[in-house]
Amino acid sequence: MSARSNSAPRLAFVAASTPVARAARVALEKRYGGVTTAQADIIVALGGDGLMLHTLHRNIRRRTPIFGMNLGTVGFLLNQYRAGGLLARLKAARQVTLVPLRMLATTTRGKRHEVIAINEVSLLRSSRQTARIAVSVDGHMRLPDLHCDGALVATPAGSTAYNLSAHGPILPLGAGLLALTPINAFRPRRWRGALLPHHSKVEFIVLDPRKRPVAAAADSVEIADVVKVTVTEANDIPLTLLFDPEHDLEERILKEQFAP
């Protein structure tokens, strides 16, 4: 392990399970030193977007800034991988604050689950039959009977993921909005979703949970057989990502709106 200057941040390196990511972690720890995530000033994540989301979730209460370097596929939430000049990059990095969502889900057995989502909270039908879901916003019933494969609420950071594939809008980071997007809506036929203020409280009620069961997912955590799901902004859990100035997340999201 190399010596660390008094002014250098303590770095924790986490890697995906791929051989290239694990090899990069070994090389970087030898070059810059390494501590545990609990001791770190900055966490450096090596992998793809999946590894970045996993790292954010595992360290969500520590609020340690995370700098990702892409050794995966898409790498939307990560910077380019370069072994050299890491300390200088971290010093010059731009901070981006993400505010996740809080999902409160109640099942048919009366159990309540609270899960945090960084990208989106989604409801999905669990049988061959279309789900029937009532949707209210801030206590006002907006859709008394939505026939669909599901619906989701996405953050700006998550608006380019599942939300976009479901034909939802891309949200700039500073827009102060959430995307409420149906998944294959059958009725109302012309409803394509809504843009909501970020402080909105969205409530989904599953209208026929026995015959038409629905599961709810907060990112990768799935709760089966839900009857009610409430989604609010978890503004008590701000998350900090670090980006090279030339790979700023806000600019990436804007570019996605003009992608061919």
Residues marked active site are found at: 49
**At 94, which amino acid appears?**
R
Give the gyration radius of the chain's Cα atoms. 20
Residue 198, classified by CB atoms within 10 Å of its CB into exposed (0-12), middle (13-18) or buried (19+), is middle
Alpha-carbon distances, residue 25 vs 16, 44, 52, 66 (angstroms):
9, 9, 15, 15
- Residues ≥6 apart with Cβ < 8 Å to 144: 134
Residues forming beta bridges with residue 205, ordered by sequence position: 134, 228
Asked whether the beta carbons of 234 and 101 are under 8 A apart, the reply is yes
Residue 192 gets the label, from left (phi > 0), alpha (psi -120 to 50) or beta, of alpha
- Residues ≥6 apart with Cβ < 8 Å to 71: 15, 16, 18, 20, 21, 24, 46, 47, 48, 81
d(CA 52, CA 141): 36
Q: Give the DSSP letter of residue 175.
A: G
d(CA 243, CA 260): 24
Of 124, 131, 137, 259, the residue nearest 207 (C-alpha): 131
